[in-house]
Amino acid sequence: MGTGVDLERSRLLRGQQLPGDKLRSWVVTLVLTVVGGFVRLRDLGYATDGGTPIFDEKYYARQAWEMLRNGGYEDNPGYRYIVHPPLGKQFIALGEWLFGYQPVGWRIAAAIAGTLTILLIIRIARRLTGSTFLGAVAGILLICDGFSHVQSRIGMLDAFLAPLILGAFGCLLADRAQVRNRLAEAVERGWLTSPWGPRLGVRWWRAGAGVCLGLACGVKWSGLWFVLALGILSVLFDATARRTAGVDRPWLGTLRRDVAPALWALVLIPIGVYLATWWAWFASETGIDRHAAETEYAVAHTLTFVPGALRSLAYNAIKVLDFHESLATPAGDPHPWESKPWTWPMGLRPMLYSYDAHQTGCSGCVRATMLIGTPALWWLALPVLGWGLWRAVFRLDWRYAAVLTVYLGGLLPWFTNLDRQMYFFYMTPVAAFLVLGVVLVLGQVLGAAKAGFERRGTGLLAVSCYIGLVVANFAWLWPVLNAVPITNDHWQAELWLPSWR
């Protein structure tokens, strides 16, 4: 039997438990996921550039089709921009295999990824807040986010990053809960005999996070920044758990007991999974740069103890890295829709993916697809970030700290090379974490379940009004998110800010 101090530590470790409405929560989750899937999939074939891909679909749809022809790899450097790993294009290729080389074919995989993201955010928000209602709110907000909606309906790579990064975050939250439960049991049983604390056993959830991160890097290298962010988060979770358990030296205990397994789970597993995403390239004879170790003199005579296939892949990676580092904005000739990262949190510079003033079916109408974050959601980004930082630093609220770590991990690295050509759609994997931050704030507005009827009722009214505002804002933007023909006056009314033009 533990002492009173031990029981208190055990209570703190177990902390907020999931609500007991497991069946109801899954019904809510699946209903909202179906609704979100319908919204994402509706009229998926619009818009096109005269039946051809729009914006960067022009690269990925064709590269995916080549992969489908070749059996999973690319071999034609004539496309020039083969500058991302293969996994995202393989996902697009699966859709083209099912539906052919047409808009639904090259977009269906992204729409499925966007729908999966809705399911994940509902479950993750429920775990963060301990509330099925707030989990549902997160799902509704993500469904009604114009930015996430458009990115789920276009055949580009970033839509696949979103569920993978969110999935890795969810795995890490499950690992945190599991670790704290194990430490709570150790406290209750009096097993804290070492100043470093106990070993915590096999942690499959953390390994699952590593798998998700490796797959994310197999879609785009920007997944690397999330490896760093979630690695930091894992260490913080472990150290604070050991401190709460009363371990004498929690930080040193984390270094001794947890860092090496974390490196295995969040570094070695992602590397292995990333290399596995190149399976078709490794098996090929004609993949781009596949035999660079034999044909390029510098590669053939460098690190000869490393297998030639890995040296060839490294050679290809160096070429790709050079492309990304040199992708600078031409002096005096910027891309009309590029933007810098300080405009992204509030979505101040959206992107026009398609515009057609001719094939609309009505005189004087336009049909446009614009990447816009729903203002009722995105324009709260800076206040939510500020409130979250205050809560994380001065109230030690781990939930805000966790969400902000991933949000900033996806945003801040883009400030390191401001000369690079950059676009708003780079925020795709970060958008879900804006929603989670807003939901945490709404949870405080709602009030605790034990609050008085009047307090809880007022909070529920405020939250409901906000949800209604977001839904209405999304409905207003619907024509320019989905290429619905509208009059020119209506089109002008949709452009709220000068920077949207």
- Which amino acid makes up residue 139? G
Q: Would you state the pLDDT for residue 4?
A: 67
The upper half-sphere exposure of residue 88, i.e. CA atoms within 13 Å in the direction of its Cβ, equals 32
pLDDT in tens, 307-320: 888 998 998 898 88
Chain segment 284-315, per-residue pLDDT in tens: 988 888 888 888 867 766 777 788 889 989 98
Residues 273-293: what's their mean pLDDT?
A: 92
Supply the pLDDT for residue 192: 79
Cα gap 233→497, rounded to integer Å: 37
Tokens of 69: 């022809």
Q: Residue 143 — pLDDT band, cuts 50, 70, 90?
A: very high
Q: For all residues of the chain together, what is the average pLDDT?
A: 91
Query: Mean of the pLDDT values across residues 357-385?
Result: 89
Cα-to-chain-centroid distance, residue 345: 15
Give the number of other CB atoms < 10 A from CB of residue 17: 9
> What pLDDT score was predicted for residue 231?
96
What integer pLDDT is reported at residue 116 of this predicted model? 98
pLDDT tens digits for 417-445? 888 889 999 999 999 999 999 999 999 99
Q: What percent of the chain has pLDDT over 90?
A: 64
| Weakest mean pLDDT among 200-204, 304-308, 470-474 | 304-308
Average pLDDT value for residue range 265-276? 97
* DSSP type of residue 264: I
- Banded pLDDT at 335 (limits 50, 70, 90): confident
| pLDDT higher than threshold 60 for residue 1 | no
Q: Output the pLDDT for position 430.
A: 97
